[in-house]
Amino acid sequence: MTAGLPVPGRPQPPGHRQESTNLADILERVLDKGIVIAGDIRVNLLDIELLTIKIRLLVASVDKAREMGIDWWEHDPTLSSGQRDVTEENRRLRARIGELEAGAAKDG
């Protein structure tokens, strides 16, 4: 079974053109141009809408996404280096609170 792939040594039908496209080429094209997949899932019972899920998927390179004005990952602290800054700030604040509580205990 060849699943539509050309078999070496077997003549190809007239007008059939073999194109060599590998996964890397396809991925490069998709990331360069971008692709959007959108869909809705609705669950109804007796014409009463119980649940609606809207699915939107955008596949594009980071550069292409920025061209389109999409850059939410740069501001999300769990996805960016900002998370490390938050962790360090948290450590410093806890230390400062400890110092203030120790000072208040001495004064009190």
* Residue of 42 and 81 predicted with greater confidence: 42
pLDDT above 70 (res 20): no
Nearest-angstrom CA–CA distance, 19 and 15: 12
Lowest mean pLDDT among 5-19, 40-54, 85-99: 5-19
Closest by CA position to 36, among listed 58, 8, 15, 18: 58
Residue 32: CA atoms inside 13 Å, Cβ hemisphere, count?
6
Q: State mean pLDDT over 95-107.
A: 88
Question: For the chain, what is the mean pLDDT?
Answer: 77
The model carries a pTM of: 0.38
pLDDT above 80 (res 57): yes
* Residue of 4 and 53 predicted with greater confidence: 53
pLDDT above 50 (res 41): yes
